[in-house]
């Protein structure tokens, strides 16, 4: 295991970056960012690859490719702040194409918390169609996942936006109607900030990822059926 826990100075750095989110401040401190945040996160990802090898063999843990850049894409945003104020990584499934397209796993560290999630945050219209078809045609399999004790204990329910009205072409009295209103398909939980400083953080994140496995595999199956 390589990860030794984030230095508390890493959180202080992110707080300072939030207050000074401009190139003139960041550039002279880029090496400090790499020392405190980038390199430890890559170590964390390397540890996840080892810890999850048996339980999540279909997930790609790559210290370089999984880690998100600190630079924000501001082309279509009113907020022109150039830097993210958290460090994040996502983990795609093998053969799923770009990591942003299919279901996968995600975590980020920011002042105040460690966020752990999985699923699809911005599904395409085709993925939404397939998800709803799966819920209708395989409702027992779907409910077995989202109503399981482990799912309820760790994540409660599927997160994200839902339609306020009935999806087009579906009876408003359909027994699965509330599940069919989902516009996003992801789950998440948070760990306290103090866990970021713990060398056991990779094990804690891995435990949550493994608990998310059934949900991610269900989405993968739903998207592949039709």
What domains can you pick out in the chain, each with its CATH number? Answer: 8-225 (3.30.930)
Q: Which residues pair with 114 in a beta bridge?
A: 109, 191
In angstroms, how far apart are the furthest CA atoms of the chain?
60
CA distance 208 to 201: 11
CA distance 160 to 189: 13
Total Cβ atoms within 10 A of residue 12:
12
Q: Which residues touch 208 (CB under 8 Å, ≥6 apart)?
A: 116, 154, 189, 191
Kind plus residue range of the DSSP H or E element containing 107 = strand 104-110
CA distance 127 to 22: 37
Contact 67, 89 (CB under 8 A): yes
Q: How far is CA 55 from the centre of its chain?
A: 18
pLDDT of residue 93: 94
Total Cβ atoms within 10 A of residue 182:
21
- Helices and strands in the chain, H and E counts: 10, 4
Q: Report the predicted TM-score, pTM, of the whole model to 2 decimal places.
A: 0.94
pLDDT of residue 100: 53
Q: Roughly what angle, to the nearest 10 degrees, separates helices 201-211 and 213-225?
A: 40
Contact 202, 177 (CB under 8 A): no
Cα pseudo-dihedral 23, 99, 158, 150, rounded to 10: -110
DSSP 165: S
Contact 61, 48 (CB under 8 A): yes
Query: What does residue 192 show for φ and ψ, rounded to 5 degrees?
Result: -65, 155
Q: What is the pLDDT along the chain (226 residues), one digit of tens a residue?
A: 799 999 999 999 999 999 999 999 999 999 999 999 999 999 999 999 999 999 999 999 999 999 999 999 988 889 999 999 999 999 999 876 554 568 999 999 999 999 999 999 999 999 999 999 999 999 999 999 999 999 999 999 999 999 999 999 999 999 999 999 999 999 999 999 999 999 999 999 999 999 999 999 999 999 998 7
Q: 108: which 2 tokens?
A: 């980020």
Q: Under DSSP, is residue 116 helix (H, G, I), strand (E, B) or coil? A: strand
pLDDT of residue 97: 58
């Amino acid at each position: 295991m390589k990860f030794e826990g984030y230095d508390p100075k890493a959180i202080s750095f992110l707080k300072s970056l939030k207050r000074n989110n401009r190139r003139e401040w960041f550039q002279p401190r880029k090496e400090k960012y790499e020392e405190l945040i980038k390199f430890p996160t890559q170590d964390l990802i390397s540890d996840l690859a080892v810890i999850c090898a048996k339980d999540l063999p279909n997930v790609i843990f790559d210290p370089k490719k999984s880690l998100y850049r600190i630079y924000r894409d501001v082309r279509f945003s009113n907020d022109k702040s150039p830097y993210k104020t958290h460090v994040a990584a996502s983990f795609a499934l093998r053969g799923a194409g770009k990591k942003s397209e299919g279901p996968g796993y995600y975590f980020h560290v920011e002042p105040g918390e460690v966020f752990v999630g999985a699923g699809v945050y911005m599904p395409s219209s085709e993925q939404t169609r397939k998800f709803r078809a799966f819920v209708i045609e395989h409702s027992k399999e779907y409910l077995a996942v989202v109503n399981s004790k482990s799912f309820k204990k760790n994540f409660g329910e599927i997160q994200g936006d839902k339609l306020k009205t009935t999806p087009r072409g579906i009876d408003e009295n359909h027994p699965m109607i509330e599940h069919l209103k989902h516009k996003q398909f992801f789950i998440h939980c948070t760990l306290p900030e103090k866990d970021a400083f713990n060398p056991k953080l990779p094990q804690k994140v891995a435990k949550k990822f493994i608990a998310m496995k059934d949900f991610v595999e269900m989405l993968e199956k739903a998207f592949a059926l039709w």
